[in-house]
């Protein structure tokens, strides 16, 4: 009757409103992370300097004293917080795209691992969500394994930002930090290295599946020195969430990017996503495209204190082959044609 129709209409309105609220929460969760990625370090540094010039200078002085005392903590595994990793905001972050983590093999807790994450994308959104939060259930999928996402060491010189990063299990991507985790932190550790780095980010664009890997062999040498198994990881959709202006080799734009990369450690990219209020406008928000991160089969690596170049090259070639096989096995399942080829540069 009429009453049932009204009730049905009200229920539809309620669920529509709930859906809209959830979408807005997803947008907010992603926006805060993008702003963190782009400006939090500089903003916190400027705020701290300002506070030093006010009547509240003692607060800033106390933090700076703590910073000096705590300076080497990022190099020693950091200070992760399960509470932060389990924040509800990360689940909204996950659902915005959505992001999914696929396990293909079990990992032994008696071993240590180096995950090679590909591709970098603009911001490594899949790497962050899957390994620095519990939104996709990494601890449930790989029980007993502690993931450490490695990123630029310069981020850990920024006040407040360094503590925020460490709370998610993020560590500096330098030899001291990696050596400590793989040699003095027991077993069951997995360091996630975005192998292509800044150089790879310069070439990421929707529809392109390419990795910068041919001359990236340092992570293999580290694996051999510590006897840590190598695990190829490919994130389907990582390159789809932003559009970028690609500068050709030899152009002034690419020259500027390479200079930044060489001297600062990151390459400035000219990119855009969607707007805050509409997907039809340009803005800093990534497009809501699915990202599926597939963790491949571990490659058993022997412990060799001083590996020769020949040994490094041998295991590097095995790793490259494993990554290509992983890509080929899952590409059609996640929306790519069977003819798609992974470009290894």
Q: Per residue of the chain (345 residues), give pLDDT as tens.
A: 555 555 555 455 555 567 888 999 999 999 999 999 889 999 999 999 999 999 999 999 999 999 999 999 999 999 999 999 999 999 999 999 999 999 999 999 999 999 999 999 999 999 999 999 999 999 999 999 999 999 999 899 999 999 999 999 999 999 999 999 999 989 999 999 999 988 888 888 899 999 999 999 999 999 999 999 999 999 999 999 999 888 777 787 878 877 777 776 667 788 899 998 888 889 999 999 999 999 999 999 999 999 999 999 999 999 999 999 999 999 999 989 999 999 999
| Peptide linkage before 170 cis (omega within 30 of 0) | no
Q: Give one DSSP letter per residue of 143-181, joined into a string.
A: TT-EEEEEE-GGGGGSTTHHHHHHHTTEEE-SHHHHHHH
CB 133 within 8 A of CB 250: no
What span, in angstroms and rounded, lies between the C-alpha atoms of 216 and 296? 19
Dihedral angle sign, alpha carbons of residues 249, 255, 261, 263: positive
Query: Count of CB atoms within 10 A of residue 78's CB?
Result: 22
CA distance 112 to 135: 23
Which residues neighbour 94 within 8 Å (Cβ) at sequence distance 6 or greater?
Answer: 129, 133, 135, 136
pLDDT score of 260: 77
**Helices 218-226/175-184 angle, 10° precision:** 30
239 burial type by CB count under 10 A (0-12 exposed, 13-18 middle, 19+ buried): buried
What's the predicted TM-score (pTM) here? 0.90
pLDDT score of 308: 97
Give the torsion sign (CA, 9, 12, 14, 16).
Answer: negative
Report the interhelical angle of 218-226 vs 309-330 (nearest 10°).
110
Residue 27 CB-density burial (10 A; 0-12 exposed, 13-18 middle, 19+ buried): middle
Q: What is the pLDDT of residue 4?
A: 57
């Amino acid at each position: 009757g009429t009453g049932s129709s009204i009730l049905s209409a009200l229920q539809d309105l309620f669920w529509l409103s709930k859906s809209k609220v959830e979408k807005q929460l997803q947008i907010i969760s992603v926006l805060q992370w993008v702003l963190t990625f782009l400006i939090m370090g500089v903003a916190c540094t400027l705020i701290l300097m300002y506070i030093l010039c006010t009547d509240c200078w003692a607060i800033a002085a106390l933090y700076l004293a703590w910073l000096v005392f705590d300076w080497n903590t990022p190099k020693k595994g950091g200070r992760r917080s399960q509470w932060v990793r389990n924040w509800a905001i990360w689940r909204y972050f996950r659902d915005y795209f959505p992001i999914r983590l696929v396990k293909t093999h079990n990992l032994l807790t008696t071993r240590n691992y180096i995950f090679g994450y590909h591709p970098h994308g603009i911001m490594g959104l899949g790497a962050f969500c899957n390994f620095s939060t519990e939104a996709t259930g990494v601890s449930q999928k790989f029980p007993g394994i502690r993931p450490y996402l490695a990123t630029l060491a310069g981020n850990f010189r920024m006040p407040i930002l360094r503590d925020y990063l460490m709370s998610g299990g993020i560590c500096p991507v330098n030899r001291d930090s990696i050596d400590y985790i793989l040699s003095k932190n027991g077993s069951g550790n997995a360091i996630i290295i975005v192998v292509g780095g800044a150089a790879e980010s310069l070439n990421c664009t929707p529809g392109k599946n390419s990795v910068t890997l041919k001359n990236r062999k340092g992570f293999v040498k580290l694996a051999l020195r510590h006897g840590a198994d190598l695990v190829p990881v490919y994130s389907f959709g990582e390159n789809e969430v932003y559009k970028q202006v690609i500068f050709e080799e030899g152009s002034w734009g690419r020259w500027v990017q390479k200079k930044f990369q060489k001297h600062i450690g990151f390459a400035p990219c000219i990119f855009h996503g969607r707007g805050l209020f509409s997907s039809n406008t340009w803005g800093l928000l990534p497009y809501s495209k699915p990202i599926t991160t597939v963790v491949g089969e571990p490659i058993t690596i022997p412990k060799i204190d001083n590996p020769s170049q020949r040994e490094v090259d041998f295991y590097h070639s095995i790793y490259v082959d494993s990554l290509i096989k992983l890509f080929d096995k899952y590409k059609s399942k996640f929306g790519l044609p069977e003819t798609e080829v992974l470009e290894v540069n």
